[in-house]
């Protein structure tokens, strides 16, 4: 008797759930299945442009080139930091044997600025003057140009005097290198703010 009562209750629940599933909802609207059946004969024709399938405009060669800026920009930073350490050892501590190494690093440092500058100018083209990062970009650009000029002048001094930099010339040269390192550190911070947001790393 108890088993029959349980079966009756289960059957009642199943029938109720089936009726609810195939009947109208509380808001009086037919369910999704009913909508599909009712609309199965309606065909909507949509014209699709094959060039717009991805939904995005494909970047050009210059835009692709500019995207390498965040990669190549780290090379002059690293070379300049190494330049500072080698020059400190050469001219401050007195490691005269490091002189040729320092000159070679300076050559590579100046050369590494070329791809960084090219990609930087390309990627800065689409930045609107009214955007939030425009002022940061201008400071970033001007600092980097100053670094390039100072390092190029330092290279000219090393190329002319080679291992004979002494006295005032030595301090002028070191002033250019150390000033370049300070400016590129500030410029790197500005670049990080442009990429990660102005509040990413505040002093």
Domain ranges of the chain: 61-196
Q: What are phi and psi of 193, to 5 degrees?
A: -65, -35
Both tokens of residue 75? 């090379």
For 166-193, the pLDDT digits (tens) are 888 899 999 999 999 999 999 888 888 8
pLDDT of residue 70: 76
pTM of the model: 0.64
147 has pLDDT over 60: yes
For 92-106, the pLDDT digits (tens) are 998 888 989 999 999
Residue 164 pLDDT grade (very low, low, confident, very high; cuts 50, 70, 90)? confident
Separation of alpha carbons 113 and 69, rounded Å: 11
pLDDT of residue 174: 95
DSSP states of 96-130 as a string?
GGGHHHHHHHHHHHHHHHHHHHHHHHHHHTT--TT
Distance of CA 168 to the CA centre of its chain: 41
Residue 12 pLDDT grade (very low, low, confident, very high; cuts 50, 70, 90)? low
61-196 is a CATH 1.10.3470 domain:
no
């Amino acid at each position: 008797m108890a088993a029959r009562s349980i079966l009756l209750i289960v059957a009642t629940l199943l029938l109720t759930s089936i009726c609810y599933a195939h009947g109208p909802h509380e808001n009086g609207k037919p369910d999704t299945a009913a909508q599909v059946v009712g609309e199965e004969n309606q065909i909507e024709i949509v014209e699709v442009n094959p060039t717009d399938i991805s939904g995005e405009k494909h970047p050009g060669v210059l835009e692709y080139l500019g995207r390498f800026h965040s990669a190549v920009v780290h090379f002059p930073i690293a070379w300049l930091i190494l330049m500072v350490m080698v020059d400190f050892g050469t001219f401050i501590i007195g490691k005269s044997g490091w002189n040729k190494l320092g000159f070679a690093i300076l050559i590579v440092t100046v050369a590494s600025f070329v791809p960084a500058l090219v990609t930087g100018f390309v990627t800065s083209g689409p930045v609107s003057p009214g955007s939030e990062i425009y002022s940061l970009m201008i400071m970033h650009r001007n600092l980097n140009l100053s670094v390039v000029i100072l390092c190029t002048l330092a290279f000219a001094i090393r190329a002319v005097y080679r291992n004979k930099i002494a006295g005032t010339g030595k301090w002028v040269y070191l002033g250019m290198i150390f000033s370049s390192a300070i400016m590129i550190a500030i410029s790197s911070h500005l670049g990080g703010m442009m990429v990660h947001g102005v509040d990413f790393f505040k002093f």
